[in-house]
Amino acid sequence: MALFGQKKRDAEKSNPAPPVRQVMGREVYCAVCKAYRAFSRCWLRVAPVAKCTCCGLDFPSLEAVYRKHLPACPRCGEYLEHPGFEYGLCDTCGSKFELVQGAKPGLLPNRKQRENMSVYGKTWSKD
pLDDT in tens, 96-125: 999 998 889 999 988 888 888 888 877 665
pLDDT at position 119 is 86
Summarize the confidence of residues 52-62 as an average pLDDT.
88
Cα–Cα dist 127/117, whole Å: 14
Which residues, including other chains, have CB under 8 Å from residue 80's CB and lie 6 or more apart?
48, 49, 52, 65, 66, 71, 72, 73
Summarize the confidence of residues 70-75 as an average pLDDT.
88
pLDDT at position 54 is 86
pLDDT in tens, 18-35: 688 999 999 999 999 999
pLDDT in tens, 76-101: 888 999 889 999 999 999 999 999 98
Strands 86-89 and 20-23 come out as: unpaired
Long-range contacts of 112-118 (CB under 8 A, 24+ apart): 113/32, 114/77
pLDDT at position 10 is 59
Higher pLDDT, 5 or 87: 87
CA angle 116, 29, 72 (to 5 degrees): 45
Q: Do 29 and 105 meet the contact criterion of CB atoms below 8 Å apart?
A: yes
CA nearest neighbour of 70 among 111, 105, 98: 98
Higher pLDDT, 10 or 114: 114
